[in-house]
Amino acid sequence: MNVGSIVKYYRMKNNLTQAELCEGICSISHLSKIESNKYVPHEETLDELFARMNVEWNQELDVYHTYREKLEKFITYSVYYDLKSMEVLYEELEQKKDYLQSTDLVNRYELYKLRFYLIQQDRQKATQQMQILSRLDQTFDEYERGAAKVFYFIYYVFVQEEAKAREIAGRLEDRNGRVPQLFEGEFYYQNAWLMQRNTEYGQSSYFAELAINQFQKDCNYLRLMHAQMLQAVNFANRDLFLQAEELFKTLLRNARLMDEASLYEGVLYNYSMLQNRRGHHNSAYMLLKELKSLMTPEEPLYTSVLIHMLQTASEEGLEMDHLLEELEVLARGKDDPYIAIQLTYFRKKKFSQHDLFDYCEQIAFPFLKEHGYIGEARRFAWRLANYHRSIGNFEKADAYAIYFYEKGEKMT
């Protein structure tokens, strides 16, 4: 512990010059060396200096150790995703900012604040913190270097600077700055998250499995569920349907037991997509129905859920009128051509096949193709190809089939 920094902190706090503080105790140059941590003073000298400032040294040691422990608690909350406790402790540490920044606890304080801002998804504060840390990192010890690299990795994933993120991930296997054991699970999780965002499901699976094993070992149950959710989506997208379903069922149970409403809704949504991919439309419909009952129309995902319900109901031949009415009400409030197209498509589906396919060909398919809804465009291309084949338009059928293949996705 750098006691000199603490002497300086209290001297500044008491508005004393070096001459005023050291008079009768030691020379000014001696005090200067103490304050810059170049010299460790005798205990008697320290006692006298602190006594002049009405500071009890033993109590001061206690304060130092207390805040050192609070900092470790702070980062442990982030590891276990205890966000509420982290917020409360953040406010407390902010109150003691001046003290922390005057001690050798400053490195960890500033590092852990970066992690906090990343969890809060506060891009501005996280970026500012990166600048502060770039000035401090020459003084990092081995643990702090390792922790910094993990947090920098999370930062670059967050701001979508992938090249930098991957560069850091590669360097983390070096001897300089290995991942501290506390952050191992998190490091694997962030890798899995990054790969999944890039639809690299195989690679994401590898890291998600490492994260799951680490979180299980650490009894880190909340983060374990996050990693399992990632893994379930990876399995679903790799057509490992049974493995995906097993994980989704586990997640539904545990998210409900742990009162994780947002996670529970996410699992319902992803599980319903899996069931639709497998052709289990009835099961998908029930999952979407439950999800819709938990949401309000103002939520961004609500429209997607409604449209998926319509698509599912149409596959299974279920009642759609009440859903159409609800989508009409939503469409009036928003100026979204995608919703308008979906609405027209489902309305036409009730009436003429010929009208419907005309609409798909003239309006819906070109719109979806142009605006990057490639998955849906392929579904329309498939139906249009079959429709044209059934009425003998083989040239058009082949054209749509070529589009379907060229986009190259597995579809069930």
Q: Where on the chain is the footprint of another protein (CB under 8 A)?
A: 118, 154, 157-158, 190, 193, 196-201, 225-227, 229-230, 233, 236-237, 263, 265-266, 269-270, 273, 301, 304, 308, 372-376, 378, 382, 385-386, 389, 397, 401, 404-405, 407-412
CB nearer to another protein: pick between 9 and 380: 380
**What is the number of other CB atoms lying within 10 angstroms of the CB of residue 91?**
8
CB nearer to another protein: pick between 333 and 394: 394
Q: How far is the CB of 150 from another protein (least distance, A)?
A: 13
CB nearer to another protein: pick between 31 and 165: 165
Is 200 strand, coil or helix? coil
Q: Rounded distance, CA 149 to CA 231, Å? A: 25
CB nearer to another protein: pick between 8 and 226: 226
Please, what's the b/e burial string for 276-313 (b: 16 or more CB within 10 A of its CB; e: otherwise)? Answer: bbbebbebbbebbeebbeebeeeeeebbebbbbbbbbb
Please say whether the beta carbons of 328 and 340 come within 8 A. no
Considering only the C-alpha atoms of the chain, give the largest distance between any 2 of them, rounded to a whole number of Å: 107
Q: How far is the CB of 270 from another protein (least distance, A)?
A: 5
Q: How far is the CB of 113 from another protein (least distance, A)?
A: 18
CB nearer to another protein: pick between 109 and 404: 404
CB nearer to another protein: pick between 103 and 272: 272
Q: Distances from the Cα of 243 to the Cαs of 65, 199, 261, 402, in angstroms?
A: 48, 18, 23, 32
CB nearer to another protein: pick between 1 and 411: 411
Q: Distances from the Cα of 370 to the Cαs of 215, 303, 346, 374, in angstroms?
A: 42, 21, 20, 9
Q: How far is the CB of 305 from another protein (least distance, A)?
A: 10
Q: How far is the CB of 163 from another protein (least distance, A)?
A: 14
Q: How far is the CB of 23 from another protein (least distance, A)?
A: 56
Residue 397 amino acid letter: A
Q: Rounded distance, CA 343 to CA 163, Å? A: 41
CB nearer to another protein: pick between 182 and 374: 374
Q: Distances from the Cα of 84 to the Cαs of 88, 116, 120, in angstroms?
A: 6, 11, 11
- Residue 74: half-sphere exposure toward Cβ, Cα within 13 Å: 25
**What is the number of other CB atoms lying within 10 angstroms of the CB of residue 194?**
22
Q: How far is the CB of 126 from another protein (least distance, A)?
A: 12
Closest C-alpha among 248, 254, 247, 323 to residue 285: 323
Closest C-alpha among 144, 211, 142 to residue 175: 142
Q: How far is the CB of 272 from another protein (least distance, A)?
A: 10
CB nearer to another protein: pick between 43 and 395: 395
Q: How far is the CB of 156 from another protein (least distance, A)?
A: 12
